Amino acid sequence: MKTRTLGQGLEVSAIGLGCMGMSQSFGELPDRDEMVTFLREAVDRGVTFFDTAEVYGPYDNEELVGKGLAPVRDRVVIATKFGFDIDPENTGVMHGPDSSPEQIRRAVDGSLQRLGVDHIDLLYQHRVDPDVPIEDVAGTVKELIEAGKVGHFGLSEAGVDTIRRAHAVQPVTALQSEYSLFWRRPEQGALAVCAELGIGFVPFSPLGRGFLTGTVDTSTTFGEGDIRANLPRFEKEALAANMAVVEMVRDFAERKGATPGQIALAWLLAQQPWIVPIPGTRKLHRLEENIAAADVELSESELAELTKAADEITVVGDRYPEAMEKMTNR
């Protein structure tokens, strides 16, 4: 596996692994022991960058990731996130964002325990809290870094001004936001500020929640617990219109001798050398397919062709329901 460097010199595998789907959001959950094995198989294949969060489950995903990676802790970079007020009496209920200094400290201590580690390699603010100045957030993480509990500071779905203000207090290592051929808003400022400040960019949902792999179409039924059942872009009419994106990527992939998913990942990797996508999967053959995308080379002309074709397609439907979208780009 090739490696890439995020901000502040943090070196990770060129393709990471998003672990959320092992504990929530995509229908029936897989067997826990199988996922423990799967995490170790990912490391055996060169993946060193693993992404989790306290709200995935909640809590279950950190425990799973911690157990799976315990034997190989010295070979991996573990990223987790804080930023939500989880009901202590009912962990299935969240009361909204909370990035108060006290909550950050509580969240970090909980994450350290669940992950079974003595420090968190990369700690993200999961969503910007409009009620807490970002300077206070960055200052609290800075103290945690100085205390040895955290290695690096990251932001997720943050706006450009927020990134600048946070970075002035504690250098930001990575911005994690959704980015793919299916969602390109980071091109409207976020990537430019990352380039300017030396911040790495970590795209989540780089395969459009599976859409860009070509395995989802208008006949697909999303089962109970699958987040896509409630996302506007996955409604029947929107899906029918958005198949134009998949068909474009599939046609290109056939000519290139790759899979649609590999082309979607290769396109992201070609944007900047400090971009590290974290596709999520629970299947070994998909993991191997994703990893192989790091070896798919796109020439300048191929990249331009793919980008131009994507520019000519209008994606239909919002990314999230309104309430969820309001929590992004703050």
- Catalytic positions are 56
Tokens of 19: 């672990």
Q: How far is CA 154 from CA 112, 159, 243, 326, in A?
A: 17, 13, 33, 20
CA pair distance 126, 173, nearest whole angstrom: 14
CA angle 241, 243, 249 (to 5 degrees): 140
Q: What is the DSSP string of 143-185?
A: HHHHTTSEEEEEEES--HHHHHHHHHHS-EEEEEEE-BTTB-G
The C-alpha atoms of residue 160 and residue 270 are separated, in whole angstroms, by 22
Please name the residue ranges forming H helices in the chain: 32-44, 60-69, 101-115, 134-146, 160-169, 190-197, 236-256, 260-271, 284-292, 300-311, 322-325
